[in-house]
Amino acid sequence: MKYTISIVLFSILTTFNLYSQNQYTKEFLVTESKDTIYGFISNTSKVIHIEQGLYLKPDKNSKAIFYRIQDISSYRDLQGNLYYKRLLPDANKVNDYKLLEVLFTGNLNLYRFGGNFFLEKNDKLFKLINTTSYRKNEEGKILQKFNREYISILSVLMSECFSLYDKIIETDLAYRELVKLLEEYHICRDYKYDVVVQRTDFDGKISYGVFLGGFTSTAFTKFITAPGNALTREIELNDYNFAFGVDFNFRLREIHNYYLILSPQYSIGNEYSYEFTSLGTNDNQYLSNYFYNFNQFDFRIGFGKVFKKQKIQPFLNIGVVLSYFSNGYYFLDLDRRRTGTDEVRAFDDFFEFEGSTDLNDSLGIWTSFGINFNLFDDFIFYNRMNIQMSRFENETGRIRNFGRNFNYRQIKFDIGILL
């Protein structure tokens, strides 16, 4: 899914230059998907398989020119990235040509295509792979193992330099480490080389997903009174709401268990209702009935860890949360009874508030834990429990909760999909 979206956006926004028959000519080469290349021609553009050829234009308004695949050897885009046409090693296909991004040239060439790395030596292409397998340990638990087949390929292709063996074993399948190893290999053999891609690539992984939750939760609140009044109440509340949000996970290396997480969430229809009795001044007894209803935005940021690289992965997140109340109201029904008499006076109050106009934004702490179900190739299904502790300060005191501070702890449950 991510690859398809990238293709669409890339094909709309990006234009390229073409090297045709060793003559530099500006062309609009958009992008490539599997064994098909799309030429920028018109709204009625038809797809030409790369085995046949490609329609391209010198500019958007000129007539499309047909180039056969044998006439296309390489092209360079406007950002300076260089691409070579190569026949990929695939036993199931014939003439499976692709246009690979050139990262490093020398006695060994390094290419990248579709998220995979390829090494070329003596005009033969090798795909660097790191497959995953699962096995059971003595306790019967399923463990994930990275097979690192690319280590064998690197060892064979660089066998002339025995001194690099230990470094080859420790090399991760990442751009920076592969380029560094190739540089040392060429220096060892006194070969000329060129690092074509000079930028520092991001070797990690960005995952994103969506989640739903907050269907039921239990919340606790403590009302702290204004200075000088020692009255404090802590009551258990029931909160029923609907929440949704998105998750972004950032790993510095794809193989790492640690990640940075951003998780904004919006919950609708938070409802808190409760009642309690208290003693006030002049022997007055108060029976209070409160009802809160509001929407809430939470922006959560923190760090997380996956504990086991296997199909079922426990994880833990911890961080801070910035919360914001919006479009809310509360209703108070208060009965005051004088002790020793039958005198009862009733009060009620209704108040609407909009966000930080009446409640300060709250910075609290947040943690969550759950399980990833890594059962599919394209996405991960997960569920988790979120616990957050926040404190809102009532600036004006108009929300009459026997105090200035609205403190609460929330427990919510999420289910989601991570790509």
**pLDDT given for residue 260 in this prediction:** 92
Tokens matching residue 158? 């660089």
Q: pLDDT below 50 — which residues of the chain?
A: 1-51, 78, 218, 221-232, 234, 356-359, 395-404
Tell me the C-alpha distance between 274 and 234, whole Å: 11
Rounded-to-integer distance, Cα 271 and Cα 219, Å: 10
Dihedral sign, CA of 161, 165, 170, 173? Answer: positive
What's the chain's average pLDDT? 70
Evaluate whether 147 touches 132 at the Cβ level (below 8 Å): yes
For residues 316-349, one letter each, b for 16 or more C-beta atoms within 10 angstroms of the residue's C-beta and e for the rest, the string is: ebebebbbbbeebebebeeebbeeeeeeeeeeee
Task: Please state the pTM of the whole predicted model.
Answer: 0.49
Task: Specify the pairing of strand 18-20 against strand 216-224.
Answer: unpaired
Residue 119: the pLDDT is 94
Q: What is the pLDDT of residue 295?
A: 82
Residues 62-113: pLDDT tens digits?
566 666 666 667 766 545 677 788 887 665 655 567 778 899 999 999 998 8
Map out the domains of the chain with their CATH numbers: 1-80 (no CATH), 107-201 (no CATH), 205-418 (2.40.128)
Cα angle 223, 233, 328; round to 5: 35
Q: Which tens digits make up the pLDDT trace of 105-131?
A: 999 999 988 778 999 999 899 989 887
